[in-house]
Structure 1
Amino acid sequence: MKMLEFVLKNYKNFNARATKDATLAYWRHVEAGGKMFWAVAGAMSSAQLGITLAPAIRAGLIHGLSVTGANLEESLFRLVAHHGYKDFPEYRYFSKEDDTRILDDRMRRVTDTSIPEDEAFRAVEKFIVPMWKEAAAKGERRFWHEYFYDLVTTIGEDVYQGDPEECWLLAAARARLPIVVPGYEDSTFGNIFASHVKLGECDARVAKSGIEYMADFYDRYRELSASAGGAGVGFFQIGGGIAGDFPICVVPSIKYDLEEPAEPWAYFCQISDSTTSYGSYSGATPNEKITWDKLTAETPMFVIESDATIVAPIILSALLECRENPAEANRLIAASTAQG
């Protein structure tokens, strides 16, 4: 249990301490039967978070997701176009002319890596646009992620370039995890969809709206709460923005808008490098969420002010070790706690 032991031995103070405490509280929560809902912003799929996120889904450590439209599609891109990606480790020293050359090479840079236009966007477009048009012809309406669920589970393995075991979208689709994709219009395929609507080649109604996502999420949240057997549903957030803001509102909305009872979020952790500042919702401390009735004074709360591409794989790796050998994990945790 190398990662868990490493965290227990070395992570004593500051953000390291928060990482350790959040990991142990996460493990206690799911071991007690609790569910964990993840909110994933940023460009985590391009950063290959799927290497640890996909196994965590398969291990039953993640029970629902809120992701940006970009993270949804970019998980698929990594599966079908992995060999076409190009990395730029010296991106900090690029000039405008350097980035113009990347554009001319039909690449789209995301920090130190890049998505290939033809192998990713245009290749996937050939599959998904006919799905939208078929839905329009049949008068069907579906949630945005459902098109991607169907696509990722039906394309042939002959088109794989990335490791399917590292594709979190494929793992989530196979597990039929509940997903919300708020603001999916703000993604490459959201733009492609809009263009086909503008040209009269597709009906905008084939993709259900964000309002319909929330209306459906009321039921999904209550299902997760019921299946948690009293342990509740936790909220694990990477980054800020709509991926986190949208789903965490479900609890107060059920209580105040539907005027029905709702179990509070039972755990909260956010990994973010956004600094706390005036009006910075992404950098707001968890206590502020108490005033909006999203969290309570009893909710275990953790803020890890660090890079999620570093921290999240560490947490997930330690949790996977706990899941694989819970007795040994609990022994190590108890020994570490006794030592202080």
Structure 2
Amino acid sequence: MHKSISEFIEHHYLHFNAAALVDAARGYKKHLSENKKMLISLAGAMSTAELGKSLAEMIRQDKVHIISCTGANLEEDVMNLVAHNHYKRVPNYRDLTPQEEWDLLEQGLNRVTDTCIPEEEAFRRIQKHIFKIWKDAEDNGERLFPHEYLFRLLNSGVMQEYYEIDPSNSWMIAAAKKNLPMVVPGWEDSTLGNIFASYCLKGELKPSTMKSGIEYMTFLADWYTASAGDEGVGFFQIGGGIAGDFPICVVPMLYQDMERHDTPFWSYFCQISDSTTSYGSYSGAVPNEKITWGKLGIDTPKYIVESDATIVAPLIFAYILGW
């Protein structure tokens, strides 16, 4: 009988992708033991998959020092926080007809694989409060990043009446309490990004009230410069897409475009991915390809776990946390 998740993993996960999972987790722990910092990037729908149940504790225990995520992951953790009881699971989602999909739409249920996010309870509960925060900031001449507005929302306490999960399972609450550094590239394509754009179209808000992606990149450049020391920062990538592609480029930008030749490479790299390399996919590119782009060094510890991130990430986090 294995007394913990970590012991179970050590005993059973010995080959193939299972072994890669263990190697990556051990490498992560070693990286932290050397007092180096770690970036985690979140793509896909990891917040709707309730990754907060493990990621929040990673944040509280200082096992992650900066997060790069899509706008969807930024907001969907908060949506789950305030509307969890109204979500609907559709286990037979592969068998739905177009008419059945339309019926979900008419019920205000927006489907993410087998999980439907309730529009009224999730989006609209947040909208009226976040609009006030946006508007107040604009009236005061403030400009903030998308995540900073959500931090302000959560830290204000105005959403507490809607909480439908244990707030300790919300990674955004954990991040807001620590004011964790974040970058959210491409935020405009998220639901709240669309809502913000609609207020701009109606003349109720100005686009300049929201800091831009370029400003996220310059913030990240300053953060990396201050945090990397001589040995670099680690990069733990969940999925692909802009959440990973955007932040990893900061190293070659600093080295090549800024000509700061003392900039260290990323000093650990792991990606959990099911993307296929032969399709020319950036998301599926094996770590060694990143050497050619000036992102990783020859000696950077590199891991790739070709599997389902919703299964792999919580296991790796459990191992790192000693569960």
What is the match of residue 25 of structure 2? 23
What is the match of residue 142 of structure 1? 144
DSSP 3-state at the match of 1:202: coil
- Do 1:135 and 1:206's aligned partners in 2 also have CA atoms closer than 8 Å? yes
DSSP 3-state at the match of 2:189: coil
What is the match of residue 9 of structure 1? 11
Any stretches of 5+ residues in structure 1 without a counterpart? 323-340
What is the match of residue 44 of structure 2? 42
Q: Could you tell me which amino acid in structure 2 is paired with residue 134 of structure 1? A: D
1:173 correspondence with 2:182: no
How far, CA to CA, are the matches of 1:296 and 1:270 in structure 2?
16
TM-score (norm. length: structure 2): 0.96
What is the match of residue 247 of structure 2? 247
Q: How does 1:1-340 map to 2 (within 5 A)?
A: 2-156=4-158, 157-226=160-229, 232-260=232-260, 261-321=262-322
How far, CA to CA, are the matches of 1:101 and 1:16 in structure 2?
40
CA apart distance, 1:159: 2.1
DSSP 3-state at the match of 1:109: strand
How far, CA to CA, are the matches of 1:60 and 1:231 in structure 2?
19
CA apart distance, 1:177: 1.1
- Do 2:273 and 2:305's aligned partners in 1 also have CA atoms closer than 8 Å? yes
CA apart distance, 1:231: 5.1
DSSP 3-state at the match of 2:165: coil
DSSP 3-state at the match of 2:116: strand
- Do 1:29 and 1:231's aligned partners in 2 also have CA atoms closer than 8 Å? no
- Do 2:82 and 2:122's aligned partners in 1 also have CA atoms closer than 8 Å? yes
CA apart distance, 1:87: 0.7
Q: Could you tell me which amino acid in structure 2 is paired with residue 255 of structure 1? A: Y
CA apart distance, 1:35: 1.1
Q: Could you tell me which amino acid in structure 2 is paired with residue 208 of structure 1? A: K
Q: Could you tell me which amino acid in structure 2 is paired with residue 243 of structure 1? A: A
Q: Could you tell me which amino acid in structure 2 is paired with residue 300 of structure 1? A: P
- Do 1:40 and 1:238's aligned partners in 2 also have CA atoms closer than 8 Å? yes
- 1:259-289 C-alpha deviation (Å, 9 max, x unpaired): 1121211100000111112421111111110
How far, CA to CA, are the matches of 1:308 and 1:248 in structure 2?
19
- Do 2:231 and 2:264's aligned partners in 1 also have CA atoms closer than 8 Å? no
How far, CA to CA, are the matches of 1:173 and 1:309 in structure 2?
23
Any stretches of 5+ residues in structure 2 without a counterpart? none
Which 4+ residue blocks in structure 1 deviate beyond 4 angstroms?
Answer: none
Identity rate of aligned residues, in percent? 52
How far, CA to CA, are the matches of 2:217 and 2:52 in structure 1?
26
DSSP 3-state at the match of 1:262: coil
How far, CA to CA, are the matches of 2:227 and 2:173 in structure 1?
21
TM-score (norm. length: structure 1): 0.91
Cα RMSD after superposing both structures: 1.2
- Do 2:20 and 2:305's aligned partners in 1 also have CA atoms closer than 8 Å? yes
Aligned pairs, how many?
319
